[in-house]
Each structure stands twice: as structure tokens, then as C-alpha cells.
Structure 1
Amino acid sequence: MDNPQARPHSGNGQFIRALSTAERDAEAARLRSKGWQYPRIAAQLGFKHRADAYNAVQRVLKETVREAGDEIRTLELERLDALYAAASDVLEREHVTVSNGRVVDLHGEPIPDDGPVLAAIDRLLKIQERRARLLGLDAPTKQNISITPERAAALEQLVEELGEQ
């Protein structure tokens, strides 16, 4: 490809940087971290414009932040998995009612205690909600906003006044 910034299509709507472009971007970021100004970076690395050097550094910074975010998200998901497993163990265990340190029974059979089971269910739901938020699975809530004709007229007047300034 003639354009070193051009990226081949990955087939899923995203573009992939060529290795040479990624290496050049990394070098631009390294030079910037050493205090070099963008015009100097552009000249050193053969960018046509100062803005190309700036964009190269921004791409590296964006990828770095995304990678760190992915690592933190993975760690949080692993922690949630461990909590989920522990709560599932509580849910599956047999629980009996205890009073004054003694198992309460009816006709010689211990009376089941549903409290720990219900608490485990609540905890599992909270873990699932947290996982959904972390992964962005919850759909945004639709809002229906209506405006009175008087407020619409006042808004239009305000827009016109701002446009005149």
C-alpha cells in the first residue's frame, strides 16, 4: 500500500494496523515520551505532517489504555467468577434451622432453613448484575421526552440569539 497509515480491513468492520505502521507509531510515542515535539518526530520518522506524528502517538495511547482496561476487566471478571462459585456452593448446600445452638426438627427431621438459600440467590443476582454492567450488556433505558409548545418556542429563540453572537 502506498499510504503507510492505510490499514487493511479485518472483515468485521474494523481496520488492522500494519506491523510497520504499529512500529512507527510506537517509535513516535517513544520519542514523544522523551520530550520531542511533533514537528521533530514527523521529520525523524518521515511523516508528511506534524498532525500525522500526533495521530501516531494518539493511536498508541488509545491502544495502551484499551489494553490496560481489558486486563482490569479480565481480572474483575475472574474475581466475580470466584464469588459466583462461592455463592453457588452456599446455594447448593443443605441448610437446617438452628435455635439456641441446636438443630430444630419436626418429627425427627431437621427443618430446612431457606434464609441462606435466599441470601445466596440475592448474592448471585448481584454478581450477575455487576458482570452485566462490566460487560456493557444492559440496554440503555429509553427516555420519552416531550416539550410544551411554549418551551419549544423559547428554545428556538435562545438558539437564534446564540447564533447571532
Structure 2
Amino acid sequence: MTKETRRRGTADAIRLTAAQKRARVVELRMAGHTWQTIADQVGYANKGGAYKAWQQALREITREPAEELRQLELDRLDRMLASVWPAAINPANPTVQHKAIDRVLAIEQARNRLLGLAAPTRIMVEEDIEVRLTFDGHEQ
């Protein structure tokens, strides 16, 4: 690669935002380019910068669908809660109200688990550990 090509590539890269640069890294890597070629074309100082951008892009690619799925599940839980809430707060029929309250609690548990707010219900650690203490080269 000539100095002029590198200079032109670097000038073009300056105009790119970080997200655009990561997208370009993914595009070039998927096309089979080496890390050094990607670094030169996108404007990273070395191939390590291009590789780090690739890793960040992959993390973002996997994080976004997970966040979208989480939001979809939260929306579903909201709709379910809205459908049973009127019965849960209406004391006119105690049997129906109690069943609706159970559903509300189950929906809230699901929401808490989805958001990571639920504490583990039980933690049990079982392990045999042997400890040997040595003082001045003598085992106690």
C-alpha cells in the first residue's frame, strides 16, 4: 500500500464516527481482509485497534437483540398485568380477586427475574476442603 493510499484512507477514516468505523471493520473483515489492511483502510494506528473495534462490534451485535427481546418480554408482561389488574383490585368477587392476585404476583416474579431483581432462592455450597498450615517449613 502506498503512502498516498494510506493518507487518503486515513483522511476518509477521520470523517467516520466510531460506530461507522466499527461497521466498516465488520464489513471488511467479512470480506476477508487482514487486520492490518482493515486498520489502514479504516484509520486505526495498528491491527490491534482494528481487532478491538471488531470485538466491540460483536458485543454490540449480540447485546442489541438481547435487549430487544427483553423489552418485548417486558411489554408482554405489561399487557398480561393490565388484563388481570382490574380483577385483582375488585373485591366484588373474592374468589376471582384472589386468583387474579396470584396471577399479578406471578407476573411480577417473572418481571423481577427478567430484570435480574430476583435474589436466588437457595444457595448451597458443598465442598470438602483440606487445609494444611506450614510454619517455618513444618506442617501443623
TM-score over 0.5 (shorter chain): yes
Q: Note the C-alpha offset of 1:39.
A: 2.6
Q: What corresponds to 1:102 in structure 2? A: none
In 2, Cα distance between equivalents of 1:38 and 1:46: 12
| Equivalent in 24, 33, 46 of residue 27 of structure 1 | 24
Provide the identity percentage: 36
Residue correspondence of structure 1 range 125-140 to structure 2 within 5 A: 125-140=105-120
Report the secondary structure of 1:128's partner residue.
helix
Does residue 56 of structure 2 align to residue 76 of structure 1? no
Query: Which residue of 72, 92, 97 maps to 1:117?
Result: 97
Aligned residues of 2:35 and 2:47 also touching (Cα < 8 A): yes
Contact kept in structure 1, 2:22 and 2:54, CA below 8 Å:
yes
Q: Quote how far apart the aligned CAs of 1:130 are.
A: 0.7
In structure 2, distance between residues paired with 1:91 and 1:145: 39
1:153: which partner in 2? Answer: 131
2:88 — aligned with what? 91
Q: Which runs of 5+ in 1 are unaligned?
A: 1-18, 96-113, 157-165
C-alpha separation between the residues in 2 aligned to 1:145 and 1:78? 36
The structure that has the greater radius of gyration is 1
- What does residue 109 of structure 1 align with? none
Report the CA distance between 1:59 and its aligned residue.
1.0
CA gap 1:78/1:146 in 2 versus in 1, 3 angstroms:
closer
Give the C-alpha shift of residue 82 in structure 1.
0.5
**Other-structure match for 2:53:** 56
| 8 A Cα contact 2:88 2:104, kept in partner | no
**Larger RCO, structure (CA 8 Å, separation 6 or more):** 2
Q: TM-score, normalised by structure 2?
A: 0.68
Distance, in Å, in 2 between the alignment partners of 1:130 and 1:71 is 17
Q: Distance in 2 between matches of 1:135 and 1:54?
A: 32
Q: Tell me, which stretches of 5 or more residues in structure 2 are unaligned?
A: 1-15, 134-140
The alpha carbon displacement at 1:78 in A equals: 0.8
- In the TM superposition, structure 1's runs of 4+ consecutive aligned residues that sit over 4 Å from their partners are 140-148
Q: Distance in 1 between matches of 2:57 and 2:127?
A: 44
Aligned alpha-carbon RMSD (Å): 2.8
Q: Higher helix fraction: Structure 1 or Structure 2?
A: 2
1:40 shift after superposition: 2.1
